Amino acid sequence: MQKMCGQDNPKHQCHCQGTRMERFIQPCLLLLLHEKPTHGYELMESLKEFGFEDGGDPGLVYRNLRKLEEEGFVTSEWETEGTGPAKRLYSVTDTGIDLIHSWSAHIQSNINRLQYFLQRYRNSLGSQPKNEE
Amino acid sequence: MQKMCGQDNPKHQCHCQGTRMERFIQPCLLLLLHEKPTHGYELMESLKEFGFEDGGDPGLVYRNLRKLEEEGFVTSEWETEGTGPAKRLYSVTDTGIDLIHSWSAHIQSNINRLQYFLQRYRNSLGSQPKNEE
DNA sequence: ACATATATATGATTATAACATATATAGAAA
DNA sequence: TTTCTATATATGTTATAATCATATATATGT
């Protein structure tokens, strides 16, 4: 049996599996880092604003940051000052900024595709009653 | 080196990797089959309207159809009449229709997330000049 | 006879997310 | 002072899905 999406209402269990937005975490991280250079743990907190439940999986966040750094879109340095364990502070590079622009263009075209789908959905099914589960 | 997205203009090679819309082929197949029961090969042709280049990979299309059938969202039967090789004709079931509704709700919420991103992008970067590659 | 269009299917590889843990620092509470 | 929690980063493992490659077969056009 396939996994369910859960969506907004935890009681409603639909089967659409439309939960994942592939790679979407990447532009979110870049944009957040452009707004304010910071570290992974705080980024997780901010990711909630972009719809990532609980800020997303730590593994996903930290690995994405490392990969972005490998590829030159962000840079990092250790911050040992202050309380608690050391933080790895990230900031966006110039190519990172370019990447945000690229992503934004792409996200706009994704919106267009999704809206095309909804348009067509409404034309053929939108006004019909739904079978409640 | 990471893969590039290609986007609209084949000459423009951006690095956003935002090409895939995970699982999006599923609601498209279901909606097309609701509009008109048909077979995989023709579905590939129609998928172009939803932004799938060349109608998407045949492997992806046929495997998705089989999986949807396994799960009871579509049914199929062989069509041996007519010219050319036999076609497997698919149509949507009632639970398949429900699934389209679920997907649509989800797609709407994905649009909202993407638009939230773009809004925030415009606030912090939208008016600035882009470094052309 | 050979190429092409139609039609379905499957094997193998790669990319990504999800799930599970491990490690370490520091403050608060008991 | 022991224990709990929050902070902070990291990695191993598995599951899922897209991509790439290829195989098979029917029919038509040249």
Q: What percentage of chain A's residues is helix, strand, coil (to nearest 5)?
A: 55, 10, 35
Backbone angle region of B84, left / alpha / beta, with phi > 0 → left and psi within -120 to 50 → alpha: left
Residue A99 falls within a domain, yes or no? yes
CA of B19: nucleotide with nearest C1': D18
d(CA A31, CA B111): 18
Average pLDDT over residues B54-79: 94
| pLDDT band at A8; cut points 50, 70, 90 | very low
Backbone angle region of B3, left / alpha / beta, with phi > 0 → left and psi within -120 to 50 → alpha: beta
Which residues in chain B have Cβ-Cβ distances shorter than 8 Å to A9? none
Of residues B2 and B26, more confidence is placed in B26
Residue A126 falls within a domain, yes or no? no
Residue A74 falls within a domain, yes or no? yes
| pLDDT band at B69; cut points 50, 70, 90 | very high
The total of structural domains in chain B comes to: 1
Average pLDDT over residues A79-97: 94
**Range of the structural domain that residue A63 is part of:** 25-121
d(CA A95, CA A123): 42
Decide if pLDDT at A103 tops 80.
yes
User: Residue A89: how many CB atoms within 10 A of its CB?
Assistant: 16
Nearest to B50 among A103, A104, A113 (CB): A113
Interatomic distance A87 CA / D8 C1' (Å):
6
Residue A63 falls within a domain, yes or no? yes
A19 pairs with which residues across the strands? Answer: none
Instruction: Indicate which CATH number applies to the domain containing A36.
Output: 1.10.10.10
- Beta strand pairing call for A38-39 and B87-92: unpaired
| pLDDT band at B54; cut points 50, 70, 90 | confident
Please report the pLDDT score of residue B11 as a whole number. 42
Interatomic distance B84 CA / D23 C1' (Å):
18
Decide if pLDDT at B33 tops 80.
yes
Decide if pLDDT at A37 tops 50.
yes
Of residues A57 and B15, more confidence is placed in A57
d(CA A104, CA B117): 8
Residue type present at position A15: H
